[in-house]
Amino acid sequence: MDQRENGALLAEELSRDHELLLADSDEALEQDFDLCILDGRALDRLWELVKQRKAREHPTFLPVLMVTSRPGVKMITRHVWQSVDELIITPIEKPELRARVAILLRVRGLSLALRSRGEEARALAESLADRARDMEAQTTQLEAQTRELRWSAERLAERTLAAEEANRVKGQFLATMSHELRTPLNAIGGYAELMEMGLRGPVTAEQHADLLRIQASQRHLLGLINEVLNYAKLETGAVHFHLENVPAREVVASSESLVTPQAKAKGLLLEVTPCEEDVTVRADAEKLLQILANLLSNAIKFTERGGRVSLWCGISGDAVLFRVSDSGIGIPTDKLEEIFEPFVQVRSDLTRTAEGTGLGLAISRDLARGMAGELVAESVPGSGSTFTLTLPSGIPR
């Protein structure tokens, strides 16, 4: 200070509210502080260092307060004023001194807060820039994926159309071939029957047995062709359903009469539980009979001699249930859904003695669904299987 006594009084007054750092060396300007208080002579000597320190703090405000007497003001060069933010000319009242110091410190605090906010803003800006770059990269990646998906969708659409066309051609081919094969097979059956009846001349016992085998093989082959033809019709949508209220009891009785000879020939117990007389089912009677006959024939085919096959009919809510069960070889759990696929035979090693196309169950389920119903299977390998046909119940008669 210009006067040591005034400096001591100033330090005493400010130390009541602030932490002071008193220093006589130039190195004091390198330390951390929020307000620099200098007298005129010190500032005249250190103004370059003060200016450099303030430049390092920029844009943060570092206030410099000069305290001097009025005579001391005259010795300060104009360059010194560039480094001064506040001037106090002694003597000064204590409240004014505290107020000026408080104002400078408040401005310093606001400046530090702004710097912190600025750093946060810069960090946020950098983060947003990184996110923008990430989003741009993701957008580019999504665009590439979109183009790839569009290309895949176009290829899939082309393949779907090709598959549909191939399926249509296949259906037409199967239908045509089935018709073409049925004509000569019917002729074979007819001529064999004429010969077996002796209309073409007498036949020996051995010839009679051979003719019976020819007729049996002809009927079997004709049955296989009929299955293929029925499946082809379903595939091409050529099957039409005549839905009406059908007495369930009559259809069950008809299906029983169709398979009774098979069951007796194999030595099986055929148990039929008919529906109540007033139960009607909304269905196509011919196609319902076809499903039940197919289910019963399959059950007989895959049940060993001495086993049991049963047909049960009953009501469940608004539906009529037809349940065909057997004590046969059963179906593995993981194969239950596959058996409804066309041309699938789960146990081909066991079906060589009762050959088929593998279309019966596929046709039966399609027919069931065509009548707003469903066909499902349950089975325990080695203990038999149960097929349940569910159809809407008819209007009470």
Q: What is the pLDDT of residues 120-169, one digit of tens each?
A: 888 898 999 999 999 999 999 999 999 999 999 999 998 888 877 876 77
Decide which of 92, 117, 149 is a domain's last residue: 92
Does residue 354 lie in a domain region? yes
Which pTM does this prediction carry? 0.50
Q: Is the pLDDT of residue 333 over 90?
A: no
Pick from 15, 5, 2: which is nearest to 97 by CA?
A: 15
pLDDT band at 268 (very low <50, low <70, confident <90, very high): very high
Cα-to-chain-centroid distance, residue 48: 72
pLDDT of residue 49: 85
Q: Is 358 left (phi over 0), alpha (psi -120 to 50) or beta?
A: left
Q: Kindly report, residue by residue over 196-208, the tens digit of the pLDDT.
A: 787 778 888 888 7
Does residue 291 lie in a domain region? yes
State the residue for tokens 């608004």: 318
Decide which of 67, 92, 117 is a domain's last residue: 92
Q: Kindly report, residue by residue over 95-115, the tens digit of the pLDDT.
A: 888 888 888 889 988 988 988
Does residue 221 lie in a domain region? no
Does residue 316 lie in a domain region? yes
Q: Is the pLDDT of residue 248 over 80?
A: yes
Domain containing 383: what range? 244-392
pLDDT band at 350 (very low <50, low <70, confident <90, very high): very low
pLDDT of residue 228: 67
Euclidean distance between CA atoms 310 and 165, whole angstroms: 42
Residue 267 and residue 306 in contact, taking contact as beta carbons nearer than 8 Å: yes
Decide which of 92, 127, 159 is a domain's last residue: 92
Q: In a 3-state reduction of DSSP, which class is residue 67?
A: strand
pLDDT band at 65 (very low <50, low <70, confident <90, very high): confident
The tokens describing 6, both together, are: 């005034």
Domain count across the chain: 2
